[in-house]
Every structure is written in structure tokens, then in C-alpha cells.
Amino acid sequence: MKPIVQISLDLTNIEEALETAAMAMRAGVDWLEAGTPLILAEGLNCVRELRKQFPETPIVADLKTMDGGYLEAEMMAKAGATHVVVMSRAHEETIHCVVKAGKDHGVEVMGDNLADDMVSAAKKLEDLGCDYVIHHVGYDERRGIAARGERMPSPLDQLRDVVEAVKIPVQAVGGLSLEQAIRTPEYGAPLVVLGAPLTIDADSFKTASGNLEDSLRMICEKVHAYGDVAIGGQK
């Protein structure tokens, strides 16, 4: 699979989200994500607005479904999403419902493996019919562990294990620096997620002009330069 750059619009107003999305598309980003904060702040209208502005672009609606799986997935699909997200901690019947809605409405399902046993959760999501695994170390988990003076966990800790456990594409999210995120294809995870508001935290991507769009263009070019990425530990 060729690597994909996805920008997660974790913003709280649609105007800023649309401006950021337009800049990202000019820079070479492949997928847009209506992040959870944006959906909470603006409802599914944010997905409709993104679809209106970017009619041909894949859009992930990250509602993190836990129950009411069919209805939520159906609503996101009708709003214009091409990808929906269901949590591995949801009951398997909920995951079944999201997968069925995906088939009925032509959207793909991304399963989030936020769980105690992330490898098993990834396998479960694949077995239940998800199209992708989101390998996710949560915000509260990271911050809480760090606040106790312990090492903050990273998605990279188990990324290779998750990739090798499934035969579907994996993306890694949760506290990664830009330099770490753009290297995830080296682990066999072709879906690279960048968070917005975007912070260029690596000197290697800071341009002489300090222009954010130019920096993002450099990042997209580096990710796309990986070429085909083997899925599921394939050689």
C-alpha cells in the first residue's frame, strides 16, 4: 500500500478547520479527519462542510463509536464521511453493526485498539471485519502515567507487534512527534497521521521562511517517498 498522509483536524471551530484543511490539501495531504473535538463542537455539520469544500477527498469521522453502531455510522456516511471509527472496547455486536453499516453505505471502518492488550484488540477488530486498525495510546493515559513520574508510553512500543498480528493496514496515533509519525511506514504502518493545530517540532522540517504550508509539503513529500509499504509483516 502506498503511504497516506492524514491530517487530524482536532480543532473546535469549523472556520479554522476549513482553513487548515485547505492548507493541508495544497501541501499534499491525502485524507482529512474530522477529529473528535471538532465533531463535539460542530456536530456532523463539520463533516458536511468538509465534504462540500473537498468533494473528492477521503474524510475520516472520528466519533469513537461505543454503542448505537449502525445509526452512528449511517449518520456519518450520509454526512459525507468515507471512513468511520469504532472502539475495540465496544461490544462485538456494536462492531458488527458498524461494519454492516459500512458495507451498506459504502464507507470503510477503522477500529481503534485502545485497550489493555492492544495486539489482541487489533486481531479482534480485524476478525470482526474492520478495514484498518488505529493503534492508539490515549491522551489521558499518556499524561496520567507521566504525571506519576513514569515513562510515557508510545504507540511505537508495540507498533511492530500490532502490524505483524494483522493483515490490514495500521496507523499509529497518540503522542508521536512529527519525526516519529513520518517514520511509521518503516514499521509497516502506511497511514501517517498528523495532528492539527500543527506544530512543527522538528528542525529538519522548519523552512527558511517559517511557512507552515511549506513545512507540511516537505513532510508529505518525505512520507510519499517511501513508496509501497508491505502490510501485515509481509516482505
Question: For residue range 34-47, what is the model confidence (pLDDT) as tens digits?
Answer: 999 999 999 999 99
- In three-state secondary structure terms, 191 is strand
Going along the chain from its start, the domains and CATH numbers come out as: 4-225 (3.20.20.70)
How crowded is residue 55: how many other Cβ atoms within 10 Å of its Cβ? 8
Q: Cell 508491505 belongs to which residue? A: 230
- In three-state secondary structure terms, 52 is helix
Which residues fall within 8 angstroms of residue 213, CB to CB, at 6 or more apart?
Answer: 23, 26, 27
In tens, the pLDDT along 148-203 reads: 999 999 999 999 999 999 999 999 999 898 889 999 999 999 999 998 666 544 45
The answer on pLDDT for 135 being more than 70 is yes
Instruction: Judge whether 81 and 107 are in contact, CB under 8 Å.
Output: yes
150 secondary structure, DSSP code: S
Which residues fall within 8 angstroms of residue 220, CB to CB, at 6 or more apart?
Answer: 5, 27, 28, 29
The answer on pLDDT for 117 being more than 80 is yes
pLDDT of res. 131? 98
Torsion of CA 230, 231, 233, 235, to 10 degrees: -30
